[in-house]
Structure 1
Amino acid sequence: MRTFSLVFAGLLAFSAFGQETGVDSSAVVADSVQVPTTDLDSAALHALDERLARLDSEHLMFAFHSLREVDTNTPLPLTDSVFEYYMAELDARTPFEMAYNPVVKRYLERYLKYGTARLSRMMAHGQYYFPMFEEHLDKYDMPLEIKYLAVVESALNPKARSYVGATGLWQFMYGTGKLYDLKVNSYVDDRNDPLKSTEAACQYMLKMYDVFEDWNLVLAAYNSGPGNVRKAIRRSGGKTSYWEIRPFLPRETSAYVPLFIAATYAMEYGHLYGIGPADIPVYYMETDTVRITQQVHFKQIQDELGVDEALMEFLNPQYKYKIVPVVKGQDYFLSLPKDAANHFRIGQDSIYKVAEGYFESRASSMPDFTQMNERTVHRVKSGETLGHIAGKYGVGVSEIKRWNGLKSDMIRVGQRIVVYPRRL
């Protein structure tokens, strides 16, 4: 029924256009039939085909917008002409080269046809994270569309962890994170901190832009490293366009920029396809931060201020055990809804007093504080288990699994296992 309505609206729009301009639509049809195509060369025919396709796209868009004035729930069709129309609009207002091609189309369909529930969740998380990202991007005069890179990297999940150990919204490896002052210890992983990791991502991409002076190449370098991008430029004969060097990039990176283009399109125009954000518990501008001066557990905050633990985990994903530690020389902060933050400042003495009793009663079960300064890569030998490796380095099996993104205890001979040892 909606298809019929769209076609009917298009016909009405075309008819109204003819009446408004004084053009006889029947005459237009008659003239189009009488075009002497046999006298046109192939170039002219190609130009005519392109013009007709453009007119068809414009008429379709006019019909769609006319129909949405009557029924705002009418979704856009998943057609090439529609994708091309809005991609051109997107390309005109961003420094990225927003190309539309079969590769991009495949990822667009992944978001808009097969992954609508996931897209809805990411839209919801975007309502919280994007204002935060935009503050940092604006500070460095970077394209605001870079916020959509976190959609590709982590699906806007601040606790996302790849099979190679990249972590957080921006998927920092341990070594790269350390270069940008993202610290890791027993209780805190700064790579999961939305504010700190966003600052680090901005600094890293600015450094890449100084090298390549092209934002599409910056994206490729973010994924594969600047060395692989330089290598692809050399192999391509010195080309400096992403699409020209794409065949020479690692396989994953060759899909990375098309996926970014599709993610940007889906997040910008998903609402036109009938996809909206899921519910979100709080917006970024409704939160505030408080400096913690004494160790606290999320449970005390919940008991004293009525803020749900799950909400605190969402706002503070960097704290591994729902504990905000106090470490000499380091400042830790807790994000809370604004009202709760104000109440915390007023009643923090009583909250800290309750926290003292809580931790004293559980001291024996609390993990020791260890600063993860050095990373060791252990190669699995014949007969070794995760238990053997954990005992050798003074860590827990669960920690090794978390550091390496392992779903089970199964390991194979020769496998490389990342460990942050407590003893060597």
Structure 2
Amino acid sequence: MNLLYPVLLSSVLWLAGCATVTPDAANTAEAETPAVHTPRYPNGALSPITRTQVTTPGVASLSAPADLWDRIRRGFAMPDLDHELVQDREQWYASRPDYILRMTERSSKYLFHIVEELERRGMPTELALLPYIESAFNPQAVSSAKAAGMWQFMPATGTYFDLKQNVFRDDRRDVLASTRAALDYLQKLHGMFGDWHLALAAYNWGEGSVGRAIARNRKAGLGITYAELNMPAETRMYVPKLQAVKNIVNTPEAFSAELPLIENHPYFQAVDIKRDIDVELAAKLADVTVSDFRALNPSLSRPVIFAAGIPQILLPWDNAKVFERNLDAYGKGQYSSWTVWTVPSTLTVADAAQRVGMSEEGLRAINNIPPRMVIKAGSALMVPRTASTLTDVSSQVADNGHVAFAPEIVTRRTTVKAQKRDTLASLAQRHRVSVANLADWNDLKVGASLKAGQSIVMFLPMRASSAVATARGPRAGAKVATSARSTKAQPQTSKKGGTPSKVRKR
């Protein structure tokens, strides 16, 4: 064993000597293989860089972002639009510092979540600024074309992207759901057009409109970039507005703009709820005001949250734990003061209120029932919760609840004299009532024969009975007597009327 150590030591020294290069040998190797430097020249003509390109780093920074604005700047990835309309919008915003401050302060609740989602999807962070253009970051904003929420979804497009819209909530206003849908839509549009400017034009104008504009330009041998397409004034200004906001965010000092500090930290947390709960109680347990609670949960349109439809609520980061502790300690048993009653048949508001033990004014107020309307069968009405209705609202009702109304028709008792060869069927057709109702009003059988001059009672709408009373000639019926004192409110079903509103976007 003692002989083994010298042998090993000598072997190691021999191997080390083989691997060692003398200084002279190293110098000789360097002299024989000089370093080669190949200069690189740009292809094509040089063009000036933009203000954004000067301040946007070309490589990833090792330091953490100073705030959320810094983080957004680092993710700028869309090509800049160099257009005179950009300068026009820059001047418009720069001349309104109070507007910029209000808008950016409002966005502080939602911006971190949007940036997180954009980075997770690998999308340009400029898109986090799009709600400034759409709604000034107001989740309750509604356009004249009925687009709603901070991302301004039209009803049909919202439905396509699985945003629930019913009598209890509108997910087009929901912070998480609408952001998910908007980024899904923008990714879809970018995949269609391969260009972010065209994708934004399609978000505002509609993908079909942009597609047709591109086809027209191709047919005419024209360019198909955003600046070259023929589009409405609103869409023409759309990307310049976003570029102007991007430039202000990138270098606010150049525009004498003040951006409020937004920490690079989540503003809110999602908290699970397992029971229906009043909005006021949820806000109280979280130790926030009702207005602050609704700002983070803007999709709610009623004073109660149905857990089957909205299993999570958003709360300020520091208040989430407060809510969970207070909810666990809450011992009063009842969390919700309201439930839902499905109307079994078409009813007047007075009849419905009597059935649920409410005043007519109270039922109208909580369910937004307009005057001179009856409630159609199948409508889901908010009513007070009682000892017999302790079960929480089902997911079927929470996700699909709706309220439908029909005009309340006031009728007048009218007497008509039958003419020769008149039948109940001919009188019913002439006065636009059903044969069954006419028979019932006069205690006759449907096929009963009539005598000339026989008095037939009808209940006609006010306008119709007036028209009958003043009409002349054989086609209008003969000798009509009306009673102004006898009126009767009758529910009347009607077809869904109206045409879709003009679509401004999506």
TM-score tier, shorter chain, comes to 0.5 to 0.7
What is the alpha-carbon distance in structure 2 between the residues aligned to residue 375 and residue 358 of structure 1?
20
Give yes or no for the alignment of 1:267 onto 2:249.
yes
- State the Cα deviation string for residues 262-297 of structure 1 (Å, max 9, x = none): 1222233334433224588x9861421211222222
Distance 1:303 1:354, change over 3 A: farther
Q: Which runs of 5+ in 2 are unaligned?
A: 1-45, 59-75, 340-355, 368-380, 383-396, 407-491
- The answer as to 2:350 corresponding to 1:347 is no
SS of the residue 1:192 aligns to:
coil
Give the structure 2 partner of residue 242 of structure 1.
226
Q: For 1:217-232, list aligned pairs within 5 A.
A: 217-232=198-213
SS at match of 2:215: helix
Matches within 5 A, 1:178-327: 178-237=159-218, 239-245=223-229, 248-277=230-259, 285-327=266-308
Distance 1:148 1:338 in 2: 23
Note if contact 2:286-2:315 (Cα within 8 Å) is conserved in structure 1.
no
Q: Is the contact between residue 132 and residue 284 of structure 1 (CA under 8 Å) also seen in structure 2?
A: no
CA distance in 2, matches of 1:136, 1:283: 14
User: How far apart, in 1, do the equivalents of 2:157 and 2:499 lie?
Assistant: 22
- 1:173-201 CA-to-partner distances (Å, cap 9, x unmatched) read 11111111110122211110111111111
The 2-side partners of 1:392 and 1:262 are apart by 52
Shift in CA distance, 284/253, structure 1 to aligned 2, threshold 3 Å: same
Q: Report the Cα distance in structure 2 between the residues aligned to 1:303 and 1:251, rounded to whole angstroms.
A: 47
Change (3 A) 1:142 1:363: farther
d(CA) in 2 for partners of 1:359, 1:373 = 14
- 2:131 matches 1:147: no
CA positional deviation for 1:126: 3.1
Match of 1:169, SS state, is coil
Alpha carbons of 1:363 and 1:89: their partners in 2 closer, same or farther (altered >3 Å)? farther
Larger Rg: 2
Pairwise CA RMSD:
3.8
Aligned residues: 303
C-alpha distance in structure 1 between counterparts of 2:334 and 2:144, whole Å: 36
C-alpha spacing 1:351/1:322, structure 2 compared with 1 (3 Å) = farther
Amino acid at match of 2:231: L
Which protein has greater RCO, CA pairs closer than 8 Å, 6+ apart? 1
**Bigger strand share:** 2
Which of the residues 66, 76, 86 maps onto 1:104?
Answer: 86
Residues in 1 aligned to 2:78 and 2:212: alpha-carbon distance in whole angstroms: 22
Say if 2:148 is the partner of 1:167: yes
How far the C-alpha of 1:157 sits from its partner, in A, is: 0.7
Deviation at 1:85, TM superposition (A): 5.5
CA distance in 1, matches of 2:77, 2:209: 23
Q: Give 2:315's match in structure 1, choosing from 336, 340, 343.
A: 336
- Higher mean C-alpha deviation, range 262-271 or range 228-237: 262-271
Partner of 1:126: 107
What corresponds to 1:44 in structure 2? none
| 3-state SS of 2:315 partner | strand
Report the equivalent of 1:40: none
Once the two structures are TM-superposed, the CA of residue 136 in structure 1 deviates from its matched residue by: 1.2
Letter in 1 for 2:152: Q
Contact in 1 for aligned 2:77/2:125 (Cα 8 Å):
no
Distance 1:283 1:339 in 2: 15
- Bigger Cα displacement from structure 2, 350-359 vs 163-172: 350-359
What is the CA–CA distance in structure 2 between the aligned matches of 1:224 and 1:184, rounded to whole Å?
Answer: 22
Task: Say if 1:131 and 1:414 are closer, same or farther in 2 by CA, change over 3 A.
Answer: closer
CA contact (8 A) 2:186 2:199 kept: yes
SS in 1 for 2:269: strand
**CA positional deviation for 1:229:** 1.0
Give me the identity figure in percent. Answer: 27
SS at 1:150 equivalent: helix
Cα deviation for residue 255 of structure 1 reads: 1.4
Distance 1:296 1:351, change over 3 A: farther
1:337 is displaced (CA, Å) by 2.4
Per the alignment, do residues 255 and 200 of structure 1 end up closer, same or farther by CA in structure 2, a change over 3 Å counting?
A: same
Could you list the runs of 5+ residues in structure 1 that have no partner in the other structure?
1-49, 55-83, 379-390, 396-412, 419-424
TM-score by length of structure 2 reads 0.53
Q: Note the C-alpha offset of 1:86.
A: 2.3
Structure 1 residue 299, shift from structure 2 partner: 1.6
2-structure distance, mates of 1:275, 1:160: 25
Contact kept? 1:112, 1:270, Cα under 8 Å: no
CA contact (8 A) 1:187 1:320 kept: yes
More helix by share: 1
Query: What amino acid maps onto 1:321 in structure 2?
Result: R
What is the deviation of 1:101? Answer: 3.0
**Aligned letter for 1:105?**
Q
2-side partners of 1:277 and 1:393: how far apart? Answer: 53
Q: CA deviation at 1:212?
A: 0.6
C-alpha deviation, 1:354, in angstroms? 6.1
Within a 5 Å distance, the mapping from 1:40-79 to structure 2 comes to none
The equivalent of 1:158 in structure 2 is 139
Deviation at 1:160, TM superposition (A): 0.8
- Cα deviation for residue 103 of structure 1 reads 1.4
Q: Which amino acid aligns with 2:299?
A: Q
Q: What is the alpha-carbon distance in structure 1 between the residues aligned to residue 281 and residue 321 of structure 2?
A: 16
The secondary structure found in structure 2 opposite 1:110 is: helix
- For residues 282 and 495 of structure 2, the distance between their equivalents in structure 1, rounded to whole angstroms, comes to 32
Q: C-alpha separation between the residues in 1 aligned to 2:52 and 2:303?
A: 43
